[in-house]
Homo-oligomer: A and B are copies of this chain.
Amino acid sequence: MPRLAGSSKLLRAMNESAALAHLLEPGMLTRADLRRLTELSTPTISEVLRRLTDAGLVTVVGYNSGRPGPNAEIYAADPDAAYAAAVSVRDIGPSGAPSVVAALCDLTGAVRARIENPVDFLHTDPRTALVDVVAELSGAAGVPADRVHHVQLGVPGSYDSGTATIRHVDVPGLNRPGLVPEIAAALGTRVGVDNDVNLAAVAERRRGVAREVDGFALLWLGQEGLGLAIDIAGTLIRGARGGAGEIGYMPLYSPDSTHRKVDLQDLFGGAAILALGRDHGITGGTPYEIVAAAAAAPDASGEFFTHLADRIAVGLAAVIAVLDPSLVVLAGPVAQAGGQTLLTAVKGALRRAAPLESTIAVTTIDDDAVLLGALDAGLTAVREALIASIRDNQA
C-alpha cells in the first residue's frame, strides 16, 4: 500500500479533489455545505471554488434566498465540462439481428443523445462501426467530439484487460487482438470495455434494487446465454482473465458417468428454456416470449415455473455457497418477463436447495440495463479522471 507523502502542493491538490468530488455527486452545494463536508475554512473553500470555476469544471447555478444575510451562491459541476459515451454491442438486438445501441450523457448523467443501429458485423469492421456510432452520437447531441472523455463499451463476452482483448464473444471480429487499442486511438478518448452483465450490475447498483446493499450477485438470464456479475462493496469481480461469472459452462456433477456432461447453460440457457416451454405446452419463439406467456397465465404454468426455478436454484446454490452475497438479483430479459412469479418460484426452490439464506430480488430497471450501466461506468470514469487530473495539473 503506497501511502502518499508530499508538500503543500499535494495538500492543495487533495483539497481541490475533495471539493470537486463532492460537487460531482448529484446535488448542488453552497460554500457552507462544502465547508461542512470538507471541514476546510471559509477562505480555503473560496480559493478552491475560484480555481475550479476558472478551470471550467464548476459553475454557479443559483442563489439561496429567504434567509437573513446575502444570498449564498449555489455551485454545481458544469454539465458541459465533459461527456461520457456508452456503446452496447449485442449479437441479437431487439430486431433479432446484431445491433449497436449507444448513448451520450453529460457530467450530471443527463442523456443527451441515444441511437440504435443494426450492424452487419459480417461485412462491417467493428472498429469503423464503433467509431462511426460515437461520431454520430456527438453529432446528434450537438457536442464537440473532443469533449467526450470516455467511451464505455459493453460486449456480450468477457474482457481480458491484461491483454486488452475481448473473448468468449460471438460477434465476428470483436475478438480480434488489438481492436480495443485501435478504437481508442481512432477516437482519441479513453475506452473502457466490460462484459454486458457486469454493466447491468453497475446499473443495478446505481439506480436499481442493489442501491444500498454492500454486495450482491446478479444472475443474468438472457435470450441466449446466462451470466453472473459479482459486486463486492461496489467493485466488480472480473477474475484473472475477465472470466469471472462465466457460469454458463459450469459443469454439473453427474453421479453415474453414463450421463453426458451437462452444464448450467443446458439447464436454463436460452435453448433449455425453449425446450422447457415446449414440454409444458407454452408457445413462443424466444425464451422471453415463452416466459412472458407463462407469466401472463400463472395458474396454468405453475409447474413450468417450478421446474425452471429448480434449475436456476442449482446454479444459484453454487454461487451462494461460494460468495454468500447479501442480495441476489435476477436480471435480463427472461427475468424481466418472469417478474414476481419467477421470483417467488426461485425463492421456494432455493429454500429447498441452499442451506444459506439469501435475499432474492428481480431487477427494477425497465430500460436497457446494459446501456445504462455503461453510461454509469463511463461517467464514473470521467469523474475520476477529472478528479485525478487536478492532482497532475498542480504538479
Give residues in A with beta carbon < 8 Å to B.
Answer: 1, 3-8, 10-11, 14-15, 17-19, 21, 38-40, 214-215, 228, 230, 232, 237-247, 249-255, 259, 262, 267, 314, 317-319, 321-327, 353-356, 358, 387
Tell me how many chains of this kind the complex includes: 2
A245, B356: Cα distance in complex, Å: 11
Chain B residue at minimum C-beta to C-beta distance from A217: B322
**A324 CB to closest chain B CB, in angstroms?**
3
A310, closest chain B residue (CB): B257
Interface contact A228-B322, CB-CB below 8 Å = yes
The 5 closest A-B pairs by CB, nearest first: A239-B324, A240-B326, A243-B324, A250-B321, A3-B18
A15 surroundings in chain B (CB, below 8 A): 5-6
Select A244's contact among B19, B254, B323, beta carbons within 8 Å.
B323
Interface of A is mostly: loop
Q: Are B5 and A14 in contact (CB under 8 A)?
A: yes
11 contacts between A and B (CB under 8 A): A1-B21, A5-B38, A5-B40, A6-B39, A7-B11, A239-B324, A240-B327, A240-B358, A246-B321, A253-B314, A322-B323
Q: How far is the CA of A323 from the CA of B11 in the complex (A)?
A: 39
Given A7-B11, A10-B11, A214-B240, are A255 and B262 also a contact pair (CB < 8 Å)?
Answer: yes
* Cβ–Cβ < 8 Å partners of A244 in chain B: 322-324
